Structure 1
């Protein structure tokens, strides 16, 4: 596990904290990329994990790429173009691929700056909750590069093309109030309430059957680029399986008996 990524459990919720204060939680290094991949793969394999919360320590969500390494052409930013292509593919692009394969619902709890790849990391999650001091920026143009981590695919699907184009073409920061107005985040709270709010949302999600949560997320994701007929076929197949689960039987029985359900992922 990378020293820059801390994990902890709160019931059925897995909390991932990026903790690298010297870089304001930059996303950098093979150890970090491997830790993200490993953690998300383990969560996918564990039905006891029903929701994930991603956050950053020290008053920053993530500053994105390491600017000092860019300036010095070090690490993933060093070498000729052909080398850089492979370094992106085998480097930071491992993060969006890992999140794309994640069936567990994910919430980004954003405090302070979410800049460049940090903004895109928040967009890789299903839900974003922000503190009122959060700042988002799709700022790649301001350092003379493009979004190398899938931001051009992610951001328009969340805020629409026009807002995404404005953010990407200007690189200008978006404060929490505007982020809420354009749909980039679903809730804005004071910093001291951020994690409690994110965990409360995670608990409401985690109260539901884990298998159905994952199938629901997969349908939502596939619906972004599939035809309606394809999604209807997928929904019918998942629904047929869901009707045969013990959790479905428990949900119906608990509703009729007016008691809280207990789901076991069966």
Structure 2
């Protein structure tokens, strides 16, 4: 499900489950964290195989959750997103096609988010009676501010690449996001590492993540419809 290949100073991490729009399972989350943790590359480039970036959590997994299982799954996702956020490497998310729910949370955990013209973004969990609990409530607020974060979260609506750029959800729209990873990797790796330590300094967020887990658990106590 998670493929890696190393291209000089760049590790390419591919979510390779195109028949499920690269939706993430428990094993997929663990493999994603390992892929980011086990490299000395200056840059990690995240991409999705096929026509989607990532559909978020696999719905079959969500439907199997109740009570403590839901809290454990949220915790697993938070650990993975925190591993991406705190990686030594600069993490670039190349979003081509749909990013939904946990797929948006995955993109938000990256340092740089770059979209193609075909990228779209949505937090549709609210329509299913659930929401993303992988640290996305904090990161979305930080990325786009309260006005846009509340609109996206409460409505579940889909935004295209142009609107995502305008609100600050992505930094660029390009035909090939990998070129941005190459551009960043051309710089001095020690300088990149030092800069990341300053720009992505840990913020007080554990309390927010605990609230996410607890709310996610409450919503799934009786299972997902």
Do the two structures share a fold, i.e. TM-score over 0.5? yes
After superposition, the C-alpha distances for 1:216-249 in whole angstroms (9 at most, x for unaligned) are 1111112866xxxxxxxxxxxxxxxxxxxxxxxx
Contact 2:94 2:178 in 1 (8 A): no
Q: Does 2:69 correspond to 1:83?
A: yes
**Cα pair 1:28 1:92 within 8 Å, conserved:** no
2:55 to 46, 52, 63: 63
- State the alpha-carbon separation in 2 of the partners of residues 111 and 123 from structure 1: 15
Alpha-carbon distance, 1:99 to partner: 1.1
The reply on whether 1:52 has 2:44 as its aligned counterpart is yes
Number of equivalences: 204
With over 3 angstroms needed to count, the CA separation of the structure-2 counterparts of 1:153 and 1:207, relative to structure 1, is: same
Alignment partner of 1:39 is 2:35: yes
Deviation at 1:97, TM superposition (A): 2.1
Is 2:23 aligned against 1:26?
Answer: yes
**8 A contact 1:128–1:185 mirrored in 2:** yes
> In 1, Cα distance between the equivalents of 2:172 and 2:85?
23
Task: State the secondary structure of the residue aligned to 1:6.
Answer: strand
Q: What's the RMSD between the two structures over aligned residues?
A: 1.7
Residue 23 of structure 1 and its aligned partner are, at CA, apart by 1.0
Following the alignment from structure 1 to structure 2, what is the Cα–Cα distance between the partners of residues 199 and 58? 15
1:66-215 mapped onto 2 (5 Å cutoff): 66-70=58-62, 73-74=63-64, 77=65, 79=66, 81-89=67-75, 91-189=76-174, 193-194=175-176, 198-215=177-194
Unaligned runs of at least 5 residues, structure 1: 226-266
1-side partners of 2:73 and 2:103: how far apart? 18
Secondary structure of residue in 1 paired with 2:92 = strand
Contact 1:120 1:150 in 2 (8 A): yes
The 4+ residue runs of structure 1 with deviation greater than 4 A are: none
Q: How far did 1:130 drift? A: 0.9
**Aligned-pair CA distance for 1:34:** 2.2
Among 192, 197, 211, the residue aligned to 1:218: 197
CA distance in 1, matches of 2:154, 2:118: 23
Secondary structure in 2 matching 1:184: coil
Structure 1 residues 208 and 101: CA distance shift in structure 2, 3 A: same
Alpha-carbon shift at residue 27 of structure 1 (Å): 1.1
Instruction: Provide the residue aligned with 1:16 in structure 2.
Output: 13
Give distance in 2, aligned partners of 1:223 and 1:18.
26
What is the CA–CA distance in structure 2 between the aligned matches of 1:143 and 1:201, rounded to whole Å? 35
Displacement after TM superposition at 1:87 (Å): 3.2
C-alpha distance in 2 between matches for 1:19 and 1:223: 30
* Structure 2 unaligned residues grouped into runs of 5+: 205-225
Give, in whole Å, the separation in 2 of the partners of 1:87 and 1:107: 25
Moved more, 166-175 or 91-100: 91-100
- Give distance in 1, aligned partners of 2:77 and 2:44: 20
Structure 1 Cα separation of the partners of residues 165 and 73 of structure 2: 34
